[in-house]
Each structure stands twice: as structure tokens, then as C-alpha cells.
Amino acid sequence: MSIALSLGNNLTTGGIFKPAAVNNTSVNNVTDFAGIAGGGTLVLLSTQTASASASISFTSGIDSTYDEYIFKFINIHPASDSVKFQFNMSTDSGSNYNVTKTTTSFFAYHNEADNDTSLGYNSSIDLAQGTGYQDLINNVGSDNDQVCSGHLHLFSPSSTTYVKHFISRVNSIHALDYSQDNYIAGYGNTTSAINAIDFKFSSGNIDDGIIKMYGVAKS
């Protein structure tokens, strides 16, 4: 009865929660995101900021502590025009980034002039047992306001039984002023533990941008 009364006192006549009913209203103050959103808690493990960087590598912190790692790309700006944002994985702590991968990709795009749109499979950036860098999105522009942002999920990288699945979604401003949205999924075809990951552009430096690595707490 007391719970019902308390709930009722914190609702407007239209059934909407009053501001006073909500605690931790700022994301910066949230202490238990899992309790609010469900699922495993995101634990920030590392933040790297590019400054004319050839690449951004994460060579520590990828281990059996977490079953899933999430990498968030925030305003990644290339020094060179019309380049591909890429990643690769390592089983030897970053000495070599050459894990064999099989992947699939599809995309959507829409230009600022509103006269060109598309949705389809992107065979130009899929891999079939390739060891090179996997493109996450292509033709990223280098104008002052052009960047790409998105995320990559890597699952059970420390498993020595299964291959290493990953999924990614990245949006960018195309060099010719398109919004392009690219999805990549696939697996690193290795039963060795993945313990490092590297991000770079296909040509030129990462002029600016932030990449954050999170672990998803085991439930």
C-alpha cells in the first residue's frame, strides 16, 4: 500500500513522472547503469585521444575479465581525404595485427542534395579469410567538419575454444557530402586469445578524435 501511494504521489494527473521522482538525472551522476538499463554494466577501461596519430592501439586490458568489449569512436577526423577507417586484431600483444577474418557488410547512404540514396550489400569491403585490416567505413572526408563515429563490439576475445565474433556500426560524412551508415559483422578465425586491437585510416594520420574501450561486466 505504501509503495503504491509513493508511486502515485510522484505522478502527474497525466501519468508522467514528476522531476522530483527521478534521481541521478545527469548521466555523469549515474552510479548503477545496469540497474537502470538492464544488462551488464559498462566499465570504462581506457580512453585514447588522437593527435596526428598513425594509429590508436589497445595493447592491454583485453583479457578474460570481460566476455564483451566495446570500442566507441567519437569524431574520428582523418588527415587525408576520402580514406577508410579500419581495424585489425592481434594474438601477440600487438607485435603483429594479422588475424584471419571472414566478414560481411551492408550500407545506407543519402547525400545533402537529396538526389542520391542507396541501401545494399557492400562487397568491396568484406573479407574471406583475409589477414589485412578490415574496413569499417570508407570515403571519410577530411574537411574541417567531416568525421566518423560509431562502435565495435568484440565478443569473448580470450576464448581458446571459439572464433572471435565482432559487430560494428559506423556513420560518417562522405568526402562528397553524403551521410553514410555502414554495418560490419564477422569473426576472427582463430582459437588463440585476442589481446590487442589497432585502429587506423587506410592512408594518412588520425588527425583528431577519441576512442574509448569498455568492458561489459559479466552477469
Is 8 a member of any domain? no
Is 103 a member of any domain? yes
Is 15 a member of any domain? no
Whole-number Å distance between alpha carbons of 164 and 188: 5
Is 5 a member of any domain? no
pLDDT band at residue 218 using 50, 70 and 90 as cut-offs: confident
Is 75 a member of any domain? yes
Is 105 a member of any domain? yes
Is 164 within 8 Å of 197 (Cβ atoms)? no
pLDDT given at position 173: 96
**pLDDT, averaged across the chain:** 89
Is 85 within 8 Å of 214 (Cβ atoms)? no
pLDDT band at residue 134 using 50, 70 and 90 as cut-offs: very high
pLDDT over 50 (residue 22): no
pLDDT given at position 19: 52
pLDDT band at residue 36 using 50, 70 and 90 as cut-offs: very low
pLDDT given at position 34: 47
Give me the sheet containing 83-90, strands edge to edge.
56-58, 196-201, 83-90, 134-140
Whole-number percent of the chain with pLDDT over 90: 80
User: In total, how many domains does the chain have?
Assistant: 1
Instruction: Please give the sequence-ordered ranges of beta strands (E in DSSP) within the chain, or none if there are none.
Output: 42-53, 56-58, 68-78, 83-90, 101-111, 117-121, 128-130, 134-140, 148-155, 164-173, 178-188, 196-201, 206-216
Whole-number percent of the chain with pLDDT over 70: 82
Is 165 a member of any domain? yes
CATH code for the domain of 140: 2.60.120
pLDDT given at position 40: 75
**pLDDT tens, 94-124?**
999 999 999 999 999 999 999 999 999 999 9
Owning domain of residue 130: 34-216
| pTM for the predicted model, two decimal places | 0.82
Q: Which residue has the higher pLDDT, 17 or 152?
A: 152
Q: Which three cell numbers stand for residue 5?
A: 501511494
